[in-house]
Every structure is written in C-alpha cells, then in structure tokens.
C-alpha cells in the first residue's frame, strides 16, 4: 500500500494553519472585546451626568407623583397642571435637600464622634490584650511560648498608624487623584440634578418621543410586547428598590432606638452600618452584624454579646414581618435565585451589583419565562412547570403568596397604553 506523504503532510500543515488562524482570531477577538469595553467605559464616563440625571429622576418620581396628587386634592383640580407639576418638583427637591441636610448635620457628626472615640479606645484595648496574653502565659505555665511572639503581634498593631504616617508622602499623588475624581463626581452629580429637573418636568414628552421612535421601527405587536416588558421591569425595579430602602430605613431607626434606650456605645455609627448593609438581601445582615460586634467588643464584650442576640431578633422581625409587609413578592424570585443573583452580580459589579442584581435578574428571569411559555403555547404544550414533573417525584405544593400590605402603588407610565387603531 502506497502512502501519499505529500498529502499527509499537507493535511497536517492545513490543521496547523487552522489552529494558528483560530488562535489569532481568538486573540483578536479578546483584543477587540477589550477595545470595545474601553470604548463603552469611555462613553459611560462621558454620559455620567445624564446617567445621574435619569437615576435621580427615577428615584424622585414617586415622591413627585405623591406631591402632585396631594396638590390636586388640595386645589380640587383648579390648579393648572403645569403649575402643579412645577410645585410638585420643587417640593420633592426641597424635601430631599432637607433629608440630606439632616443627615450631614446630625448623622455624620455623630458618626465622626463615634469613630474618634473608637480610635481613642484602641490603644487601651491593645494594652488590655497584651496584659491578658501575658497573664495567660504565666497562669498556665506557657513559658515555652515565647512572649516575643505576642509582643511582635501587638507591636505590629500598635505601629500601624506610624507606618501609615511614614507612607504618607507616597500617598500624596493618590490623594490628589482621589480629590480630582471626587470633584469630577460632584460636578457630574450637580449637572445630573439639573438634568433630572428637566426630565421630571417633561417626562410625558420624553416617553412620547421614545414611543414615537419605537413605533417607527417595530410593528404594533412587537411594540406592545416591548411596552409590556418595560412596564414589568419598571414595576419590579420600583417595587424592590423603594421597598428595600424603606425597609432598611426602618431597621436602622429601630436599631438606633434600641441602642439609645439601653445606652449602648456607638449607637449612631452601628445603626448606620446595620441600616445600609440591610439593603443587600440575605447577606446584608451578616455584613452589618460582624463589624458592629467587633466594634462593640472593643468597648464591652458583654454588650457585644447582647447586641448579637438583638440583631438576630431584629432580623427575624424584618424577615418575617416588616420585609414581607413592605416588599411582598416584588421580584417573583425564589430564595435560590435571589442568592444566585447576589453572587453573580456581586462578583461582577461589587456592592452595587449585590443591591441591583436581584431586580435585574428578576427582569431577565421574567423575559426567559415569557419566552419559554410563549414557545410552549405555540407547540400546544402546557406552560405549568408541574406538568413536567414525573409521577414518582411530584412537585411539593407551592406556598400561597400574599401581596404586601404596604405596597407602593405605581402609576403606569404614559407610554404603557396601547395606541388606538
């Protein structure tokens, strides 16, 4: 049998070339992805004022709507709609500014005092720890354990501030860059506030322009589906974010009230930590409880123990009473998917992803569910999940879902109504 070596080597060479070409394509794709990513980041950086503007307008829109309805009742619809809108926008910003002033005039100084007191207690706490370690060594005849090891550990903690001071000259450029970034961020927020005013004053016009553009591009059925998904996404995001902010505010105030009542130290600092971290579903209470307990350990270990018990009771109250009454089932996700969303978006976007990841994944989950059920109906298949469970392993009965008693009623956006034929 004659072997055609030329053909064999040509085939090998062709495979090698294909592998090299595939490798080059992959490298080029990665480079292009990085280039596209850099371009996207650059565009987002330029559009930051507008992003801030839309975000501020979105947050203040429920407050403005409530103010408008209140003014409509007071004036008995005799006040012109444009004037009513302007007064409602003005009152919304005044109320928001008052909240910020109260926060920076009362909360921030209290937090500063707590941090200063905590910093003053750290040297004494380190000395107490040193004395305790030496006492344990002498009491249990642990002379074999070199005391120099303990001294080194404690000396490292005591020299932390001095090391930071020594590194201060090298940190000056970083501090200047951070100052420039902070100044740019403040300017972006200020411009965003101005943009948000225009958005709130003429939100119906913005929505009408968007619907006009979509009507020119898509068919009526596709447009209706887009508007349906948009309204559902708005309901999920508004219900979750507004409800979670209100829930966290209540938890923070309850923590402050309880700690003040029992004269526990660092009440304002710890209440802010507990309230802010409570925004993150499931993991938030742990993120807030751990540093709070460590802070109280410096002041009084017994107080830290009682605080840990109090946090457990408070989270039970939040998880079984306060949270369900405010949020209800605003996302429609099971605990498994909530944890999945927090883990996924938290790793991609950090703390912000842990907060907005749940409603964002809820929208994605809704879209996948709608697409799946639509395709099943076209094939004359049942859309219910229970229909696909085996007889040997039937699904457990689902828990009856109750709507929240204090849900925030959201008005449908102006573009939700279908266009008349």
* DSSP assignment of 266-283: THHHHHHHHHHHTTSTTT
**What is the rounded distance in angstroms from the CA atom of residue 387 to the CA atom of residue 366?**
20
Contact 274, 318 (CB under 8 A): no
With CA atoms as reference, report the closest residue to 407 among 200, 232, 247: 247
Residue corresponding to tokens 């706490």: 125
The band of 257, judged by pLDDT with boundaries at 50, 70 and 90, is very high
The CA–CA distances, whole Å, from 223 to 7, 170, 210, 229 equal 58, 57, 11, 10
Buried b (16+ CB within 10 A) or exposed e, 220-247: eeebeebbeebebbbbbbbbbbbbbbeb
- Give 377-405 pLDDT, tens digit per residue: 888 888 777 777 766 666 666 555 555 44
- In the predicted structure, residue 243 carries a pLDDT above the cut 70: yes
- Give 161-211 pLDDT, tens digit per residue: 566 556 656 666 776 777 777 788 888 889 999 999 999 998 889 888 888
The CA–CA distances, whole Å, from 105 to 219, 256, 347 equal 54, 17, 35
With CA atoms as reference, report the closest residue to 95 among 66, 52, 135, 124: 66
- Give 27-42 pLDDT, tens digit per residue: 766 666 667 667 777 7
pTM above 0.95, yes or no: no
| Per-domain boundaries in the chain | 1-46, 48-201, 203-389+400-421
- Give 311-330 pLDDT, tens digit per residue: 999 888 887 888 777 776 66
């Amino acid at each position: 049998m004659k072997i055609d070596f030329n053909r064999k080597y040509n085939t090998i060479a062709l495979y090698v070339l294909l592998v090299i070409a595939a490798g080059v394509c992959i490298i080029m794709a990665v480079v292009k992805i990085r280039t596209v990513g850099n371009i996207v980041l650059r565009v987002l950086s330029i559009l930051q004022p507008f992003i801030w503007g839309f975000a501020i307008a979105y947050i203040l829109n429920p407050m403005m709507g409530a103010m408008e309805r209140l003014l409509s009742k007071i004036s008995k619809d005799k006040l012109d709609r444009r004037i009513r809108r302007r007064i409602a926008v003005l009152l919304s910003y005044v109320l928001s500014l008052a909240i910020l002033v109260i926060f920076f005039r009362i909360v921030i100084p209290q937090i500063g005092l707590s941090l200063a007191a905590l910093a003053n207690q750290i040297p004494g706490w380190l000395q107490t720890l040193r004395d305790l370690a030496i006492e344990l060594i002498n009491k249990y005849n642990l002379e074999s354990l070199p005391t120099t090891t303990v001294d080194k550990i404690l000396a490292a903690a005591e020299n932390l501030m001095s090391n930071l001071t020594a590194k201060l000259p090298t940190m000056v450029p970083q501090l200047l860059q951070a100052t420039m970034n902070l100044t740019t961020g403040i300017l972006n927020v200020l411009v965003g506030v101005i943009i948000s005013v225009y958005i709130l004053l003429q939100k119906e016009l913005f929505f009408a322009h968007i619907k006009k553009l979509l009507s020119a591009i898509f068919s009526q059925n596709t447009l209706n589906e887009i508007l349906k998904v948009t309204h559902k996404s708005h309901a999920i995001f508004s219900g979750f974010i507004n409800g979670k902010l209100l829930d966290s505010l209540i938890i923070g105030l309850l923590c402050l009230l309880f700690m003040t009542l029992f004269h526990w130290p660092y009440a304002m600092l710890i209440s802010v930590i507990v309230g802010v971290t409570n925004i993150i579903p499931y993991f938030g209470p742990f993120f807030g409880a751990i540093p709070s307990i460590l802070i109280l350990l410096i002041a009084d270990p017994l107080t830290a123990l009682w605080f840990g018990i109090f946090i457990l009771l408070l989270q039970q109250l939040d998880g079984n009473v306060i949270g369900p009454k405010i949020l209800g089932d605003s996302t429609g996700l099971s605990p498994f998917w909530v944890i999945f969303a927090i883990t996924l978006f938290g790793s991609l976007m950090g703390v912000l992803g842990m907060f907005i990841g749940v409603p964002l994944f809820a929208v994605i989950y809704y879209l996948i569910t709608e697409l799946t059920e639509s395709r099943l109906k076209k094939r004359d298949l049942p859309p219910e999940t229970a229909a696909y469970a085996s007889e040997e392993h039937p699904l457990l009965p689902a828990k009856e879902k109750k709507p929240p008693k204090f849900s925030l009623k959201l008005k449908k956006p102006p573009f939700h109504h279908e266009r008349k034929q």
